[in-house]
Structure 1
Amino acid sequence: MTIQPKSALRLKTNWTPATDGESLAYSLTLTNLSSKPMQGFKLCVSGPARIDPAAVVEGGSLTARLSNHSELSPPASFVLEPNASWTVTARGLSYPLRHWTDGANTAYVALADGTTLPVAVAPTQAKGDNAPLKRGAEIYPVPTVAPVPVAIVPWPNNVSISGRAPVPMGFALKAKGAEAEAAAATFGELVDGLFSVEGIVRPEAEGGLPVSLSLADDFGPEAYSIRFAADRVVVSGRARNGLLYGLITLGQMLRGARHHPETFLFPAEGEIRDEPALGWRGTHLDVARHFYGTAEISRFLKIMAWNKLNRFHWHLSDDEAWRIEIDAYPDLTRIGAWRGHGLPLPPLLGSGPARTGGYYNKASVRAVVAQAGRLGIEVIPEIDVPGHCYAMLQAIPELRDPAEHGFYQSVQGFPNNCLNPAREETYQVLETVLDEVIELFPFKRIHVGADEVPIGAWSGSPEALARLTELAGPEAAAAHARRLNVITNHHGADDIDGSGAAVLQAQFLARIQRFLASRGCITGGWEEAAHGDVIEKEKSFLNGWRSVEVSAALAGRGYDIVVCPGQVYYLDMANSPAWSEPGAAWAGWSEPQTLYEFDPVKGWTDEQKKHFLGVQCCIWSEPMSDRGVFDRLVFPRISALAETGWTKPERKSWERFKALAGLMPILYGIAAVG
């Protein structure tokens, strides 16, 4: 690992787990390597770790805290002399540190005159664990002898090939008709973006093997076949997406035979017939915690298509940021898209004191949606409401009940972060926002979040308590009011089922769904959207994130379910429990083999399986300020998820997958060292 940019100030952080005789210790040591003493300063740090507001702090004090942004002050009159150090230790965190990326990854010093000084930060060290810190994708080596003769991920339904043909230089695509021409053009765009110098698509004059694209009616919408002959290949399908998937399979076979001729071949004859096991094969990407520019999104979509994934769940808003342009409310991006010292949103999750962030303007969104469509990917935008709205409320503070008092706190440590369901202004703003969103996303699936509303939400709002009295009676309102100023959400999202918060959220969601249905849209939500059973099941779907058992129960109640349990399909979770691995740990950990072999419908009844839409991995971005960490956490697990979505369970094989996965592209091209 490398230290951050040069500075006269250095920060080292150390983690000591709790023992029987001593509480946990998160120690931060600031060293002044300049020639000048420093006084009247505050040390500002951010990273996934959250110092608990009630923590005992030794050597200083916690003077401000918003989620993972903490300001620590030394004792009054303290002077940090040149070449001296100051250590402050917090004995209380919102969750114990498990991996090196949990600790502070950005710091700066704020001076009394309002200026800031940069601080170089080293990765957090854990007591007793000095293993080299890992980053970069784990690339499985391609073996000399593989279980199969061709390289294809995800593996097809039926492979009946024989013989060994000379490996083509590339493919000369012969397309007739609009669907075939569109598939050929998209495949050319895809391989040019992922493997630009390999010339996978090239004319016959440059050695391209003729590949004919043929439309046929006896295929499903994503199905295809490939027939091999001595002098040409024929790819058949009913529609553009099937033809594109056939070409992707062909391209993977070519690359395998070209790069590893001792292991893989290009067949002389035979046929491959293929179609996906599941209709929903998705990936979620959180762009609120860390921003990804359109160039990154574009390449990510290409990688999704190369894995035959077909749903992109774009998480565009959260407490930490708002990332999509809304003409009616420019402050959403003017304020909500940026973080920095002195701004309404402070540095969070590793962003520094300078103004940083970004958002997608409407032209960029349209370009992303159009590209995704060409690649066979439907885009589902998420505007996360009524919780996770801290950034939105900083931009539009008039949405708050003006008489609201006290606090409630979310699981991530954001106070009073929920849109008020009792205010008519809430619906006026949201309907305007959603109308602009709907216009940009033709798939007509709009995800509204509905997750992790704190159990104390709106307990200090007279308007909300009055509405709760109407809905559930005065006793329910009185009980809810008693949750005011009570800190919950320390070690996991509150279970709000049956609470006053759940009653108010249910009313909110029912109204939002009616609005979306009036615009011809299906409403998506995380599993908490089922509280109260008020949303119309025929016009909605849920993402089940807690466990397969919870998802099965919701399917049994009639909800269409996309399975994405955090323990396995959340790709921000670390690959192993080792401190040297990056990532989070609140849901556990999941190595690629565990994810690959996981059964998303284990124990489901046939009736429950009728509501099983498919699978989705979720990329939450909290630990991913380092793009090498992104590559390590996402690859090859995204390909393992893709094979679960495409390949029938009885045809899956971990040994085969492991032999082929090393040929799959990764986003930033950062591979693990050693």
Structure 2
Amino acid sequence: MPVQDLHAPTLETVWIPATDAHPMAYRLTLRNDGTAPFRDFRLCFSGPCQVDATATAEGGRIGRRLSTFTELLPPDGLDLALGASWTVTIHGLSWPFRHWTDGARGAYLLFPDGSTRRVATTPTRRMGDNAAPKRGVDPYPVPTNPPAPVSIIPWPNHVALTRLGPAPAGLTLLAEDAAAKGATEAFRRLAEALFAVEGIVRPGEEGGLPVYFHVSEDLAAEAHELVFTPDSVSIRACGQAGFFYGLVTLGQIWRGAHHFPHAYGFPTEGRIADAPTMGWRGLHLDVARRFYGAAEIRRLLAILAWNKLNRFHWHLCDDEAWRVEIDAYPALTEIGAWRGEGLAIPPLLGSGAERSGGYYSKAAIRDIVRQARDFGIEIVPEIDMPGHCHALQMAIPELRDPQERGSYHSVQGFADNCLNPAREATYRVVETILAELIALFPFRTIHIGADEVPLGAWSGSPEALEKLSEIAGKDAAEAHAKRLNVITNTHGADAIEGSGAAALQAVFLKRVQAFLAAQGCVTGGWQEAAHGNVIDKDKAYLCGWRDVAASAALAGEGYTMVVCPGQAYYLDMAHTADWDEPGASWAGASTPEMTYAFDPVAGWSAAQKAKLLGVQACIWSEPMLDRAVFDRLVFPRLSAVAETGWTHPEHKSWARFKACAGLMPVLYAAP
């Protein structure tokens, strides 16, 4: 077992914003706080920050560079004595820093013999701003007199309670129908997963209040009705989903009255009737940039169920990693699941020199899928393609056109990261992967990404240019070839509509969707999948991430839409523009109250609303190295999106929501 380095060198970093007098810069100071001097080293660091391809360094030189990984070389012959420091200033970054999580999050020294030494990093400071970095969920204390007498999120659409009392000791679930029994067992597991010692579910001999179940065929699948008397509660529903959500409502009411009896009561007379306003109420999680173990996924699914969310969009791969076991291609996880010094994928986004990462075995996925379905959640796996495929190509390099020359770069700084639509080998590999994936996920909805293909993609591939000439003409192919080695997207994703890249991507999407449709699957894609208008709208849906107007326009063109705009529903966006807040800000900032108030269909026509499938929050994991940052960014904004997807707008209330938001579970409860 390695011994922890208690005297590691320290890296302190400062972001220097641009002024009229000087451009933006990033200053890094390495201080030798160890036990011996060192020389002949290279400083390697990574974080969400990206050093630009045209960047220069003052006080050193820039060596290897890939996306968020950068290697810095000190001046020749530099000896770093004990207590001494070396400062290097980088001029030229792909985008300006906005928050403390943007800078270097991990670093190490690399020596000529290949050995490494950990470097301790401190949060990046901004010149002139020394506010302490914020972590952990903001407290949401329960007020003495909350606006509503019971604690429920999302709020039901009909509440008529005439009498309240104290919380019973717990709930005794008396199910006889098979659907009700399934719901009670699922709820019991949910309560134990989230609140193990509270005893929400307990037998009658421990004082549990009887809960009875009645099948009502006239109710919709997720609808339910709760009737309260002094001696019992009855739940009406047509099946397991409705009974389960009724129990979640009942469990939330019980917890509010149990933990805060001065503020909330437990109904002893009255009725709650409820059903969701939207059928798709989802959460997307990127596990490629950061790996989350199976235990974390299982608890997250329990939190989704407690929020009555019913879709989990699992982003299983990206440029930075591949996370799902595929029997036909073991190299995908042997190579693509791991990052570290000397590996095919270097440390990224703050990981260190050591081998780090992981993947989900098929056995683990089957267990997770079973749990999700018990909780009323369907899982949609995503294999992002044809772009965002750096890790896949590191594992299967024969996917590249062997005659391809030159380079193009993605907005995230990866070179030549797109699967080639002109190669037959591409489809053999993709269809094999998808076939294994379909067998794992019974919902039979597969998301294929289709976002952020660079404008210059495939411009150096003879095979791709020949295909482009076939489908769009010689002039189009010649124009596309001129984009070779042209840096097009240093500061933002390319708009590729009408380009050779869009035409080639359309070839890929049409064929992949045809394969999925033949397997009885619905195809999901980000909104860029609409390029070329080639996908079958009756067998697909799109995730609209740019803004509400863009989603409305696509709905007007006949696409079925899940609305997840970055400015409100991307939970990696910071709460505010303040430096001490964690997260990103490229799409703006959104406080929990702003996320709660956001209208995902503002300005939509009735015809456009008819194409609305629902809403989805999205977690992109670049800033999530610190799990306390995860908690701060995700909660309670996740619950805010959940309420938008469930509750009629006229029944929403920020004051009521805020009063009981602190009762909702979080993933880590990290300080």
CA distance in 2, matches of 1:36, 1:661: 51
- Equivalent position of 2:414 in the other structure: 414
1:289-318 Cα distance to aligned partner (Å, 9 max, x none): 000000000000000000000000000000
CA distance in 2, matches of 1:649, 1:485: 50
Name the amino acid aligned to 1:159.
V
Q: Offset at 1:270?
A: 0.8
CA distance in 1, matches of 2:78, 2:355: 29
Name the amino acid aligned to 2:308.
K
Instruction: Map residues 363-442 of structure 1 onto 2, 5 A cutoff.
Output: 363-442=363-442
Q: Offset at 1:38?
A: 2.0
- Equivalent position of 1:506 in the other structure: 506
- Equivalent position of 1:245 in the other structure: 245
Q: TM-score, normalised by structure 1?
A: 0.98
Give the conservation status (yes or no) of the 8 Å contact 2:166–2:257: no
Q: Offset at 1:147?
A: 0.6
- Equivalent position of 2:125 in the other structure: 125
- Equivalent position of 1:282 in the other structure: 282
User: Could you say what secondary structure the match of 2:512 adopts?
Assistant: helix
User: Could you say what secondary structure the match of 2:257 adopts?
Assistant: helix
Computed over aligned residues only, the root mean square deviation of the Cα atoms, in angstroms, reads 0.9
Q: Offset at 1:252?
A: 0.4
Q: Offset at 1:36?
A: 3.0
Q: Offset at 1:40?
A: 1.8
- Equivalent position of 1:555 in the other structure: 555
1:137-168 Cα distance to aligned partner (Å, 9 max, x none): 11211000011100000000000011123320
* Correspondence 1:480 to 2:480: yes
Q: Offset at 1:33?
A: 2.3
Q: TM-score, normalised by structure 2?
A: 0.99
- Equivalent position of 2:272 in the other structure: 272
* Correspondence 1:261 to 2:278: no
1:628-671 Cα distance to aligned partner (Å, 9 max, x none): 00000000000000000000011111111111111100000125
Q: Offset at 1:75?
A: 1.6
Give the conservation status (yes or no) of the 8 Å contact 2:56–2:62: no
The range that moved more, 278-287 or 47-56, is 47-56
The range that moved more, 407-416 or 38-47, is 38-47
CA distance in 2, matches of 1:7, 1:123: 18
* Correspondence 1:55 to 2:55: yes
1:358-413 Cα distance to aligned partner (Å, 9 max, x none): 00000000011110000000000000000000000000000000001110000000
Q: Offset at 1:81?
A: 2.2
User: Could you say what secondary structure the match of 1:271 adopts?
Assistant: strand
Give the conservation status (yes or no) of the 8 Å contact 1:316–1:383: yes
- Equivalent position of 2:332 in the other structure: 332
Give the conservation status (yes or no) of the 8 Å contact 1:277–1:646: yes
Q: Offset at 1:177?
A: 1.9
In structure 2, runs of 5+ residues without a counterpart are none
Give the conservation status (yes or no) of the 8 Å contact 1:30–1:85: yes
* Correspondence 1:322 to 2:287: no
Give the conservation status (yes or no) of the 8 Å contact 1:7–1:119: no
User: Could you say what secondary structure the match of 2:549 adopts?
Assistant: helix
Instruction: Map residues 647-658 of structure 1 onto 2, 5 A cutoff.
Output: 647-658=647-658
User: Could you say what secondary structure the match of 1:268 adopts?
Assistant: strand
User: Could you say what secondary structure the match of 2:567 adopts?
Assistant: helix
User: Could you say what secondary structure the match of 1:267 adopts?
Assistant: strand
- Equivalent position of 2:185 in the other structure: 185
CA distance in 1, matches of 2:35, 2:633: 41
User: Could you say what secondary structure the match of 2:165 adopts?
Assistant: coil
Give the conservation status (yes or no) of the 8 Å contact 1:317–1:384: yes
CA distance in 2, matches of 1:665, 1:235: 24
Name the amino acid aligned to 1:423.
R
Give the conservation status (yes or no) of the 8 Å contact 2:317–2:323: yes
1:252-294 Cα distance to aligned partner (Å, 9 max, x none): 0000001111110111111000000100000000000000000
- Equivalent position of 2:633 in the other structure: 633
- What is the percent sequence identity of the aligned residues? 62
- Equivalent position of 1:646 in the other structure: 646
- Equivalent position of 2:446 in the other structure: 446
Q: Offset at 1:128?
A: 1.2
Q: Offset at 1:35?
A: 4.3
- Equivalent position of 2:310 in the other structure: 310
User: Could you say what secondary structure the match of 2:281 adopts?
Assistant: strand
CA distance in 2, matches of 1:255, 1:566: 33
Q: Offset at 1:534?
A: 0.2
Q: Offset at 1:5?
A: 6.5
Give the conservation status (yes or no) of the 8 Å contact 1:446–1:521: yes
Q: Offset at 1:78?
A: 2.1
- Equivalent position of 2:465 in the other structure: 465
CA distance in 2, matches of 1:347, 1:481: 33
